[in-house]
Chain A
């Protein structure tokens, strides 16, 4: 892993640590009486705060996971660095698109 990737992986990790704690707290809160779509969407639809929170989370996780997957492929598979980089970039872009789509689905009014 080069210095640039190392920097971005650590930066996104530091950004996500508090986001994960809040997310786990939300999971506990959301499941207190069983989850329902009405409950979830009632909280998130039209909320700029939740859209920003989960939008940031998605952007950070897409970068972090892509770099992590690249590292695993380089170290644990016969794939060379270039192909691992291409796969990881495609994977990260897919995560970003699917994640932002999910945020839009639950946050847009």
Chain B
């Protein structure tokens, strides 16, 4: 019974919806911190500069590439939904969702390789 009720969770498009929601939630949590960081420049360039030097740490760079992935996967997943809702139906939704995630991962990896 339980496995029947949860069968949809093995569907790739259910996973895409979950990734879209979780990435949106993570970005919503990150945004206030991002804005507070940029707001440091109100008190002068030096405050922002000292924070940026902290972001040189490898773990922070890794987290930044994660954020690039989240931003892109949320945006591309959203574009897929907008197209789905507003244009004619087209097949290959699972492939498009996979492509969105793969493209986001590739761009995030390129970002990571560039900053290290």
Chain A nearest Cβ from B32, distance in angstroms: 6
Chain B nearest Cβ from A70, distance in angstroms: 11
- When distances are taken between beta carbons in the complex, the residues of chain A under 8 Å from B115 are 31, 34
Q: For chain B, what secondary structure do more than half of its interface residues adopt (helix, strand, loop), or is it mixed?
A: helix
A 83-109 contacts with B by CB, 8 A:
91, 94-95, 98-99, 101-106
- A16 x B75 contact (CB < 8 A): yes
Size of interface on A: residues with Cβ below 8 Å to B:
37
Compute how far the CA of A21 lies from the CA of B38 in the bound complex, rounded to whole angstroms.
20
Q: Does B45 contact A (CB under 8 A)?
A: yes
- When distances are taken between beta carbons in the complex, the residues of chain A under 8 Å from B111 are 27-28, 31
B 17-55 contacts with A by CB, 8 A:
21, 24-25, 27-28, 31-32, 34-42, 45-46, 48-49, 52, 55
Given A13-B82, A101-B39: 5 more A-B contacts, CB < 8 Å? A34-B56, A91-B28, A95-B35, A99-B31, A102-B37
Q: List 29 A-B contacts (CB under 8 A).
A: A10-B85, A13-B81, A13-B82, A16-B75, A17-B75, A17-B82, A20-B72, A24-B71, A31-B114, A31-B115, A32-B114, A34-B115, A36-B52, A37-B45, A37-B52, A38-B49, A40-B41, A41-B45, A65-B24, A65-B28, A68-B25, A69-B25, A91-B28, A95-B31, A98-B35, A98-B39, A102-B37, A105-B38, A105-B42
